[in-house]
Amino acid sequence: MIINQWISEVMDITTAFLHGEMEEEVYMTVPEGLDLVEEGWDVNDDCVELMQTIYGTRQAARQYWKYFMAHMQQKGYKRTHADPCLLMKRDNNGTCIICVYVDDCLITGDKRAVEQAKLDIKSKFDVRELGPVDEYIGCNIKKIDDSKIKLEQPDMIKKIKKEFGKDVEHMRPSETPMGPGIAVQRPTEADELISKEDQTRYRSAVGMLLYLVKHSRPDLSNAVRELTKVMDGATKEHVKLLHRVINFVILTEDRGLIMEPKKSAMAIVEAMSNSDFAGDKDNRRSITGYLIKLYGCVIAWKSKQQGGVCLSSSEAEYYAISEATTELLFIKNVLTFLEVEFEVPMILQADNNGAIFLANNASSGGRTKHVDTRVHFIRDLVQEEKTLKINYVNTEENESDTFTKNTDNGTFWKHTSKYMTDE
């Protein structure tokens, strides 16, 4: 959108869920008033069969999606297997890309192609044209200049302030979401849990924070992941940690994800991964963190506890590399579908030489021969397909460090300021 100077617009499909065709036999009671139109109906004994979906049926969303996609494919739009809600068409009008989120369509591309796409949709559906994109699925898209946009969620932060602002108004300013070295631990039998009402508020607050993390606040990723560990039973100490994160969010409400792509002949995809070995003090599982950039802009990130216990830091780092690699392959498939040329091999940076050795060599030693074979697909990508190249990065320069642990102020702001802004 920025590099090609494409236009972008949003359309909302009205009464979307009424378009789907039922594939199963579903019956319902006679709607009120139908017996006045059709003679012979007995509302107590008769029923009707649904031929199309209506709001409230479980099939409605999927059946509408199938109906919409079939219509757009008839109009010449291609759909990728990598993402079932991504469409593209390239013809004499130019290029048009459509991102579908339930009944909302984000359309971007050359002006003539976008106008044709709107006509194609309106030929079958009633729509509301919402104009140039400045908000999509709760995320504001703020244009700073022709080469830079910012993603932010002011409405969600306002909601957080309204619901929880009084709980944190007397707190000291927080410079980071959580203090260095702080990690949430599951309560023991001796710990006193908060009330059911307070636990409901706790879950509500963490849910709002998760929505911020998803779209515009990757800097909160690790802190919020820690908070999710006690969604079923928090203590007063956990609530204090939650309040610190909320306090930080309110103090940095103008902060958002910056998108300022670096122009180049071919797209550049690069990633950084890291792990915190045995970082969970309850089960000693390690924490995976990664971020991925396209044209220098962060487009994907994750902070996640690993599925099993690792026996060494190299093994934990290797699993973190595998997680980042799967996301890289998804991005590769999407770029290939969109006919975007990108540099190969894609670069992934890690700060553990042992893990890098595992990825580049087909040998196994006594400490690594037990590593699950599912992660060894990395070797194929590195050695045979030449799709991926793994380089070493100094720990102090690894921007994914903040996704695996709560760091000190200097490290936190050094890394997150590279892809976030207060403008």
Q: Is the pLDDT of residue 157 over 70?
A: yes
The pLDDT of residue 298 is 97
Contacts with 54 (C-beta within 8 Å, 6 or more apart), sequence order? 17, 18, 60
Say which residue, 386 or 419, is predicted with more confidence. Answer: 419
Ordered DSSP codes for 313-359:
HHHHHHHHHHHHHHHHHHHHHHHHHTT--B-SSEEEEES-HHHHHHH
The helix (H) or strand (E) run that includes residue 162 is helix 154-168
The pLDDT of residue 366 is 54
Contacts with 39 (C-beta within 8 Å, 6 or more apart), sequence order? none
Mean pLDDT within 382-395: 91
How far apart are alpha carbons 409 and 175 in whole angstroms?
7
pLDDT grade, residue 28 (50/70/90)?
confident
Tens of pLDDT along 211-221?
999 999 999 99
Mean pLDDT within 94-115: 96
The pLDDT of residue 53 is 94
Q: Is the pLDDT of residue 273 over 90?
A: yes
The pLDDT of residue 343 is 95
Q: Is the pLDDT of residue 257 over 60?
A: yes
Say which residue, 371 or 206, is predicted with more confidence. Answer: 206
The pLDDT of residue 396 is 94
Nearest to 285 by CA among 186, 196, 146: 186
For residues 397 and 354, is the Cβ–Cβ distance under 8 A?
Answer: no
pLDDT > 90: what percent of the chain?
Answer: 81
Q: How far is CA 91 from CA 70, 78, 98, 202, 208, in A?
A: 19, 12, 15, 51, 42
The pLDDT of residue 384 is 79
Tens of pLDDT along 158-210?
999 999 999 999 999 999 999 999 999 999 999 999 999 999 999 999 999 99
How far apart are alpha carbons 339 and 341 in whole angstroms?
6
The pLDDT of residue 162 is 97
For residues 151 and 139, is the Cβ–Cβ distance under 8 A?
Answer: yes
Mean pLDDT of the chain: 92
pLDDT grade, residue 70 (50/70/90)?
very high
Sketch out the chain's domains with CATH numbers.
Answer: 7-134 (3.30.310), 154-251 (no CATH), 262-406+415-421 (3.30.420.10)
Mean pLDDT within 34-52: 77
Say which residue, 200 or 1, is predicted with more confidence. Answer: 200
Ordered DSSP codes for 356-377:
HHHHH-----TTTTTS-GGGGH
